[in-house]
Structure 1
Amino acid sequence: MRLALAAAALIAAGQPLHAQSVALKPLADARTRYETVEQDGLPRDADALTIRLRAGVEARVERWSALVEGQGTLGVVDRYFDGLEGAADRPLVADPQNVALYRAQLQYRADDLTMTAGRQRIALDDERFVGAIGFRQNGQTFDAVRAEWTPLPKLKLDLSYAWSVRTIWGNDGRDARQSAVSGDNVFANLSYATPVGLLTGFAYLVDQDEAAVQGYRLSSQTYGVRFAGARPIGSGAKLSYQASYARQADYGGNPNAYRAEYYLIDAALDVWRLRFGGGFEVLGADDGRALTSFQTPLGTNFKFQGWADKFLTTPPDGVRDLYGQVSTGWKAIGPARDITVQAVFHDFRSDRLGRRYGREWDLLASAKFGPTTASVRYADYDARSFATDTSKLWLQLDWAL
């Protein structure tokens, strides 16, 4: 019924479709990654060599398009716990083997309106609250209907209703790590482009129907505002900035009653080949009970609060992340293009009671060689009062058609 309604919504949005030639576009990308993890408290390290392939096709006729894409993930070296299989005496590497339908969508695109129905990627703003989890091999998609409307040149409304979240755990997902989480999720995002940056108001209603997933305790309503922009300052320099505030409360069948706040302030200065940046992000706590702190179950959380993944679920006392970074890059050196080297430092503390959680260093080097991107990434988490010392190393090759 939901798929039928989605298709009907798209048909209503468009014009009659006349016989026209069909333009076909092949879709293909591949990723090979080696990940090794050493974590205190576990007797053995994790070693994971995984290969991910996605392939599909997009057919386009005038303003209409249909897209189908599948994906498969293979564990070539599987000395790791993938969350579903493997020995739990090794660290978690959340890339289980999988063969699945990744996307299957129908889209109508006009000058001021785009409507998409079916299994699709949805990534809003910086993906803090709703994202595609692109770093993990299986990614995250949504069975949804989405409308993107631009009634005025600088004003955009982005509205989605998602009845299922297809998770990174793949077809064999079970228990708290379900293959898909059904529910009634609404993502509303209204943005206006000002002369100095993009101002966005948002409302994200997450209503999950799977009792196995934390007993509905990840259902929440989040309302907030975000501002992001960049300005040149002088010759050869640029200042980038962003700030965000949100309030979250229980929603739907969540048995917890709570209120928590979110803050972010971030700035970066680009001078010649160097970038210096830093920020302060707070995911607040309520009264210290589990899952009454600010949660982001549908966000691309790997991008935030360190790559060691210690805060994918916000601790009961919340988390404050004070961070700084420096990076540099070159357009080309020999056959390499778009070369980037980056270092990030995080200091983590609790929002409630002011405890020191730990510190983390994150390092990255990447470069493109034709259609292939090679990267080396490292994370080292030094625990004080939360979790345990953990170091991770990634060697990765990404290829796209």
Structure 2
Amino acid sequence: MKMNKMSYVAIAAMSVMMGTTSVVQAEEAAEVNGVSEILSHGKYSLQIRPRYEFVDEDNAKNNANAFTVRTVLGAKFDTLGVDGLAATLEMTNVSNFGVDNYAPASPGYSVVADGEQTRVTQANISYAKEGFVGTVGRKGLNLDNQRFIGTVGWRQMPQTYDLASVAYKGIEKLDLMAAYVWGVNRIFDRDLGGLKIPDFDTNTVLLHASYKVMPELTITAYDYMIASKFDHIGIRATGGMTLENGVELNYMAEYAKQNDPSLTEESAPFNDAEPEQDADYYRFGLSGSHHGLTAGVCYEVLGEAGSGASPFSTPLATLHAHNGWADMFLATPADGLEDLSVKLGYGDKTFGKILGVYHKFDSDAGSVDYGSEFDIVYTKKVMKDLMMMLKGAMYAKGDAATSYVDTNKYWVMFDYTY
């Protein structure tokens, strides 16, 4: 119920006659009305994402069968009494439907990293005004192609960050972002164990800037200072153009250097470690599309250790999006990794989209054959808010001396969003 000026006058008069009790009741009513007003202006979202995953590895492990579902409830409230101030809340639950023949839930099976768990995945306050956005709290963060910083959105439980960030877009063609991260909440089930550390404290600073030089060229520079691990310092060029025959070309080139860490973290598992690091990263890609057809080639190198302690690695990346969907190279081999890939796809509104990608993997140092992989994915909108995905990854090992084994993975997934 909305209150007019006369309503407030009446309350004031009654409070004089009846004492403080009415004043307290009026304040409580106003508070309730204020909360109701905020809730009524909220933007709510729902995602339900059931998925079946099958894993067949050429080893002693039993084949994995996982039927899991991600349920996400989110809300954003823009009306908090201050123009530009907003709050975001999000809860994510991962459950299975009794088909849990996968590790680490069931030992002896191949791993599917979708353990049952419930978590607050976003809880932050933000303020936006005149091109400036400041955020404090827990949120997802994806930068560029998620090669270095990502949310690991492919897995059912996303990776999120506890941070304070500022972004500024008040200068034409220039985007600036800086963030201080004190916590990383990874995809793994905190209660189950058996995989990697589910979350950790950190003392990390992320700096990112991009400038659109011209319609065909955007330059991005970054410095990701991951405490007690290393610094990523890099530059990236992306762009595209349309040829006279209608073919759309897109390209990218990137180089990054991994140096000794500028910052340290005192808590486990880092304990103020200051490892020496000296590794390089390169990526070059070219793709074209015309009348629904897409083709492209990409060459990526995660360099060997050089004079440092370990090869180039990206521990905060959305790793599934890179180096093959079979996830064989979530950790970079000691001799580094070269990944030469080609892709071919087709899509339209009636048929949907299909994409095939072939990878050839080799070492950066020496001449180790790490094998090859063929990936394929088909997506189609079943109805307005429902997508279907069929996906497969088939990895074939290379040199017998490596620890990798032939691996096949298949998925059937539906994604409903509201």
Q: Under a length normalisation based on structure 2, what TM-score does the superposition of the two structures give? A: 0.84
SS of residue matched to 1:296: coil
Partner of 2:365: 352
- Stretches of structure 1 that go unaligned for 5 or more consecutive residues are 1-18, 209-218, 334-338
8 A contact 2:188–2:195 mirrored in 1: no
Q: Is residue 234 of structure 1 aligned with residue 252 of structure 2? A: no
Partner of 1:16: none
How far did residue 288 of structure 1 move? 9.4
Partner of 2:86: 65
How many angstroms does 1:57 deviate by? 1.5
- How far did 1:173 drift? 5.7
Equivalent positions of 1:160-199 (< 5 A) are 160-172=179-191, 174=193, 177-195=196-214, 196-199=216-219
Moved more, 166-175 or 312-321: 166-175
The CA deviation at 1:272 is 1.5
User: How has the CA–CA distance of structure 1 residues 170 and 119 changed in structure 2, closer, same or farther, with 3 Å as cutoff?
Assistant: farther
What is the identity, as a one-letter code, of the residue corresponding to 1:341? I
Residues 363-386 of structure 1, C-alpha deviations (whole Å, 9 max, x = no match): 000011210110000000000134
- Please give the root-mean-square deviation of Cα atoms over the aligned residues, in Å: 1.7
Counterpart position of 1:292: 310
Given candidates 47, 70, 74, the residue that maps to 1:52 is 70
Q: Which runs of 5+ in 2 are unaligned?
A: 1-33, 265-271
Given residue 365 of structure 2, which amino acid in structure 1 is its aligned partner? R
Please state how far the C-alpha of 1:151 moved relative to its aligned partner. Answer: 3.8
Pair 1:142 & 2:164 matched: no
Tell me if the contact between 2:377 and 2:392 (Cα under 8 Å) persists in the aligned partners: yes
Specify the SS of the correspondent of 2:224.
Answer: strand
Per the alignment, do residues 229 and 173 of structure 1 end up closer, same or farther by CA in structure 2, a change over 3 Å counting? farther
- Contact map agreement 2:230 2:275 (CA 8 A) in 1: no
* Matching residue of 1:127: 146
**Deviation for aligned residue 1:318:** 0.6
Distance apart, 1:237 and its partner CA:
1.1
* Counterpart secondary structure, 2:320: helix
Map residues 77-88 of structure 1 onto 2, 5 A cutoff: 77-82=99-104, 85-87=105-107
- How many residue pairs end up in the alignment? 364
Return the alpha-carbon distance in structure 2 between the equivalents of residues 366 and 288 of structure 1: 44
> Is the 8 Å Cα contact of residues 205 and 220 (structure 1) preserved in structure 2?
yes
User: Residue 279 of structure 2 contacts residue 306 of structure 2 at CA under 8 Å; is this kept in 1?
Assistant: no
On the 8 A contact 1:287/1:317 being kept in 2, the answer is no
Tell me which amino acid in the other structure corresponds to 2:139.
Q
Structure 1 CA distance, aligned partners of 2:313 and 2:66?
Answer: 28
The one-letter amino acid of 1:364's match is: V
| Residue of structure 1 in register with 2:118 after alignment | 99
Out of 165, 178, 184, the residue aligned to residue 159 of structure 1 is: 178
Match of 1:115 in 2: 134
Q: Could you say which structure has the higher helix fraction? A: 2
SS of the residue 1:246 aligns to: strand
Question: 3-state DSSP class of the match of 2:219?
Answer: strand
- What is the percent sequence identity of the aligned residues? 29
Distance 1:56 1:376 in 2: 27
Structure with more of its chain in strand, by fraction? 1
User: Quick one: distance in 2 between partners of 1:175 and 1:80?
Assistant: 12
1:175 Cα deviation after fit: 7.4
Letter in 2 for 1:398: D
Aligned to 2:225: 205
Give 2:133's aligned amino acid: T
Contact 1:42 1:91 in 2 (8 A): no
Task: State whether structure 2 residue 255 is matched by structure 1 residue 245.
Answer: yes
- Which secondary structure state, in structure 2, belongs to the residue aligned with residue 332 of structure 1? coil
CA distance in 1, matches of 2:275, 2:174: 36
Secondary structure at 2:60 match in 1? coil
- 1:287 Cα deviation (Å)? 4.7
Letter in 1 for 2:225: L
Assess, with a 3 A threshold, how the Cα gap between structure 1 residues 287 and 173 changes in structure 2: closer, same or farther.
farther
Counterpart of 2:285 in structure 1 is: 266
Partners of 1:234 and 1:94 lie apart in 2 by 47
TM-score by length of 1: 0.87
Deviation at 1:236, TM superposition (A): 2.3
- Report SS of the residue matched to 1:302: helix
Larger deviation, residues 48-57 vs 173-182: 173-182
Rg (Cα) greater in structure = 2
Kept in 2, the 8 Å contact 1:288–1:317? The answer is no
2-side partners of 1:282 and 1:349: how far apart?
A: 9
Post-superposition Cα deviations, 1:33-70, rounded to whole Å, max 9, x if no partner, equal: 00000001134100000011010211112311101111
1:371 aligns with 2:393: no
Residue number in structure 2 paired with 1:305? 323
Structure 2: distance between partners of 1:330 and 1:400: 21
Counterpart amino acid of 1:325?
K
Q: Give the superposition deviation at 1:256.
A: 3.5
- Mapped to 2, the partners of 1:139 and 1:105 lie a distance apart of 16
Paired residues of 1:118 and 1:144 also in contact (CA < 8 A): yes
Could you list the per-position Cα deviations for residues 219-241 of structure 1 after superposition, in whole angstroms to 9, with x for gaps in the alignment?
Answer: 11110000111111113210000
Contact 1:288 1:316 in 2 (8 A): no
Cα distance in 1, alignment partners of residues 86 and 381 from structure 2: 30
Candidates 232, 243, 267, aligned match of 1:222: 232
